[in-house]
Amino acid sequence: MGKRKKGLESMETRTLHRNIFQRLFGICATRKPSHEACWTFEEGKILLDLGRTPELAVPGGAVRLEKNKGLPERVLIVHGDDGAFHAFRNRCSHAGRRLDPVPGMEQVQCCSIGRSTFDHEGTRLSGSAKGPVKTYGVRLEQGRLIVEVQAQGA
Protein backbone atom coordinates (compact mmCIF):
# COMPACT_ATOMS: atom_id res chain seq x y z
CA MET A 1 0.00 0.00 0.00
CA GLY A 2 1.10 3.55 -0.62
CA LYS A 3 -0.16 6.88 0.59
CA ARG A 4 -0.74 10.12 -1.22
CA LYS A 5 1.78 12.84 -0.53
CA LYS A 6 1.37 16.11 1.34
CA GLY A 7 -2.15 17.36 1.73
CA LEU A 8 -3.68 14.25 0.20
CA GLU A 9 -2.73 11.76 2.91
CA SER A 10 -6.22 10.43 3.40
CA MET A 11 -6.35 8.61 0.04
CA GLU A 12 -4.77 5.15 0.16
CA THR A 13 -3.66 3.32 -2.93
CA ARG A 14 -3.27 -0.40 -3.55
CA THR A 15 -1.01 -2.26 -5.96
CA LEU A 16 -2.84 -4.34 -8.53
CA HIS A 17 -1.37 -7.84 -8.64
CA ARG A 18 0.77 -8.21 -11.76
CA ASN A 19 3.92 -10.31 -12.12
CA ILE A 20 7.33 -8.82 -12.82
CA PHE A 21 7.23 -9.69 -16.54
CA GLN A 22 3.82 -8.11 -16.97
CA ARG A 23 5.14 -4.99 -15.23
CA LEU A 24 8.39 -4.92 -17.24
CA PHE A 25 6.67 -5.32 -20.59
CA GLY A 26 3.67 -3.19 -19.68
CA ILE A 27 1.09 -5.92 -20.23
CA CYS A 28 -2.22 -4.65 -18.90
CA ALA A 29 -4.92 -6.80 -17.28
CA THR A 30 -7.88 -5.20 -19.06
CA ARG A 31 -9.02 -6.84 -22.29
CA LYS A 32 -10.54 -5.50 -25.45
CA PRO A 33 -14.32 -6.09 -25.73
CA SER A 34 -15.25 -9.67 -26.59
CA HIS A 35 -17.63 -8.27 -29.23
CA GLU A 36 -15.62 -5.70 -31.13
CA ALA A 37 -18.82 -4.58 -32.86
CA CYS A 38 -20.20 -3.31 -29.53
CA TRP A 39 -18.82 0.14 -30.18
CA THR A 40 -18.48 2.77 -32.88
CA PHE A 41 -16.82 6.15 -33.03
CA GLU A 42 -18.89 8.92 -34.57
CA GLU A 43 -18.57 12.70 -34.48
CA GLY A 44 -16.04 12.66 -31.67
CA LYS A 45 -18.01 10.24 -29.50
CA ILE A 46 -17.70 6.57 -28.61
CA LEU A 47 -21.12 4.91 -28.78
CA LEU A 48 -20.96 1.67 -26.82
CA ASP A 49 -23.88 -0.76 -26.65
CA LEU A 50 -23.89 -2.00 -23.04
CA GLY A 51 -26.12 -4.93 -24.04
CA ARG A 52 -23.26 -6.26 -26.15
CA THR A 53 -20.49 -5.50 -23.66
CA PRO A 54 -20.66 -8.11 -20.88
CA GLU A 55 -17.31 -6.90 -19.53
CA LEU A 56 -19.07 -3.78 -18.25
CA ALA A 57 -22.18 -5.50 -16.86
CA VAL A 58 -21.16 -5.32 -13.21
CA PRO A 59 -19.17 -2.87 -11.08
CA GLY A 60 -15.47 -3.61 -11.26
CA GLY A 61 -15.61 -4.43 -14.98
CA ALA A 62 -13.62 -2.64 -17.65
CA VAL A 63 -12.74 -2.71 -21.34
CA ARG A 64 -10.03 -1.05 -23.36
CA LEU A 65 -10.66 0.38 -26.80
CA GLU A 66 -7.65 0.66 -29.06
CA LYS A 67 -7.03 3.29 -31.72
CA ASN A 68 -9.17 2.07 -34.59
CA LYS A 69 -12.52 2.93 -36.17
CA GLY A 70 -11.22 6.52 -36.22
CA LEU A 71 -10.75 6.68 -32.44
CA PRO A 72 -7.77 9.02 -31.99
CA GLU A 73 -6.70 7.78 -28.53
CA ARG A 74 -6.75 4.52 -26.62
CA VAL A 75 -9.60 4.66 -24.10
CA LEU A 76 -10.20 2.69 -20.90
CA ILE A 77 -13.82 2.43 -19.75
CA VAL A 78 -14.47 1.33 -16.17
CA HIS A 79 -17.70 0.40 -14.41
CA GLY A 80 -16.84 1.77 -10.99
CA ASP A 81 -17.73 0.26 -7.65
CA ASP A 82 -19.90 3.36 -7.21
CA GLY A 83 -22.03 2.09 -10.10
CA ALA A 84 -20.98 4.93 -12.41
CA PHE A 85 -19.02 4.58 -15.64
CA HIS A 86 -15.69 6.35 -16.06
CA ALA A 87 -13.54 6.84 -19.16
CA PHE A 88 -9.84 7.62 -19.32
CA ARG A 89 -7.29 8.30 -22.01
CA ASN A 90 -5.53 4.94 -21.72
CA ARG A 91 -2.06 6.37 -21.59
CA CYS A 92 -0.19 6.85 -18.33
CA SER A 93 1.12 10.40 -18.01
CA HIS A 94 4.55 9.03 -17.05
CA ALA A 95 5.56 7.09 -20.16
CA GLY A 96 2.36 6.10 -21.88
CA ARG A 97 1.63 2.57 -20.68
CA ARG A 98 -1.95 1.35 -20.38
CA LEU A 99 -4.06 1.57 -17.24
CA ASP A 100 -6.18 -0.97 -15.32
CA PRO A 101 -8.87 -0.48 -12.68
CA VAL A 102 -7.85 -1.30 -9.09
CA PRO A 103 -10.63 -3.46 -7.59
CA GLY A 104 -12.43 -1.86 -4.67
CA MET A 105 -10.43 1.34 -4.83
CA GLU A 106 -12.15 3.73 -7.29
CA GLN A 107 -8.74 4.09 -8.90
CA VAL A 108 -6.86 3.13 -12.05
CA GLN A 109 -3.23 2.09 -12.14
CA CYS A 110 -0.51 1.99 -14.76
CA CYS A 111 0.48 -1.56 -15.71
CA SER A 112 4.22 -0.74 -15.76
CA ILE A 113 6.86 -0.94 -13.05
CA GLY A 114 6.15 2.67 -12.06
CA ARG A 115 2.56 1.77 -11.00
CA SER A 116 1.28 5.31 -11.22
CA THR A 117 -2.17 5.42 -9.68
CA PHE A 118 -4.95 7.90 -10.40
CA ASP A 119 -8.41 8.51 -9.02
CA HIS A 120 -11.53 8.49 -11.18
CA GLU A 121 -11.10 12.20 -11.90
CA GLY A 122 -7.65 11.42 -13.33
CA THR A 123 -5.75 13.01 -10.45
CA ARG A 124 -2.40 11.41 -9.74
CA LEU A 125 -2.29 9.67 -6.36
CA SER A 126 1.07 7.89 -6.41
CA GLY A 127 3.78 6.45 -8.65
CA SER A 128 6.23 7.77 -11.23
CA ALA A 129 3.84 10.05 -13.09
CA LYS A 130 3.99 13.75 -12.28
CA GLY A 131 0.65 14.76 -13.70
CA PRO A 132 -2.94 13.59 -14.17
CA VAL A 133 -4.43 11.39 -16.87
CA LYS A 134 -7.14 12.76 -19.10
CA THR A 135 -10.71 11.71 -18.42
CA TYR A 136 -13.73 11.97 -20.70
CA GLY A 137 -17.34 12.83 -20.04
CA VAL A 138 -19.65 9.80 -20.01
CA ARG A 139 -23.43 9.52 -20.12
CA LEU A 140 -26.01 6.77 -20.52
CA GLU A 141 -28.60 7.00 -23.26
CA GLN A 142 -31.08 4.19 -23.95
CA GLY A 143 -28.71 1.37 -23.09
CA ARG A 144 -25.76 3.00 -24.76
CA LEU A 145 -22.77 4.56 -23.14
CA ILE A 146 -21.71 7.79 -24.83
CA VAL A 147 -18.11 8.87 -24.24
CA GLU A 148 -17.23 12.42 -25.30
CA VAL A 149 -13.71 11.99 -26.64
CA GLN A 150 -13.56 15.18 -28.70
CA ALA A 151 -15.46 18.35 -27.89
CA GLN A 152 -17.77 19.48 -30.69
CA GLY A 153 -15.96 21.79 -33.08
CA ALA A 154 -12.55 20.67 -31.77
Please give the Cα distance from 107 to 120 (Å, whole number): 6
Cβ distance to ligand FES smaller for residue 97 or 120: 97
Sign of the CA dihedral with 111 first, then 79, 52, and 137 last? negative
Q: Which among 17-25, 48-56, 62-70, 109-117 is the span making contact with ligand FES, rule CB under 6 A?
A: 109-117
Q: Applying CB under 6 A, which of residues 22, 40, 128, 150 lies at the interface with ligand FES?
A: 128
Options 53, 116, 126, 135; binder of ligand FES; rule CB under 6 A: 116
Among residues 20, 32, 43, 5, the alpha carbon closest in space to that of 111 is found at 20
Q: Is 102 in the site for ligand FES (CB under 6 A)?
A: no
Cβ-closest position to ligand FES: 114
Pick 18 or 97: Cβ nearer ligand FES: 97
Q: Which window, 4-12, 32-40, 58-66, 125-133, contacts ligand FES (CB under 6 A)?
A: 125-133
Kindly state the DSSP code that residue 33 receives in the 8-state scheme: P
Query: Angle at CA 110, nearest 5°, toward 106 and 113?
Result: 135
Alpha-carbon distance values, 19 to 28, 49, 153 (Å) = 11, 33, 43
Per CB under 6 A, residues contacting ligand FES are 92, 94-97, 110, 112, 114, 116, 127-129
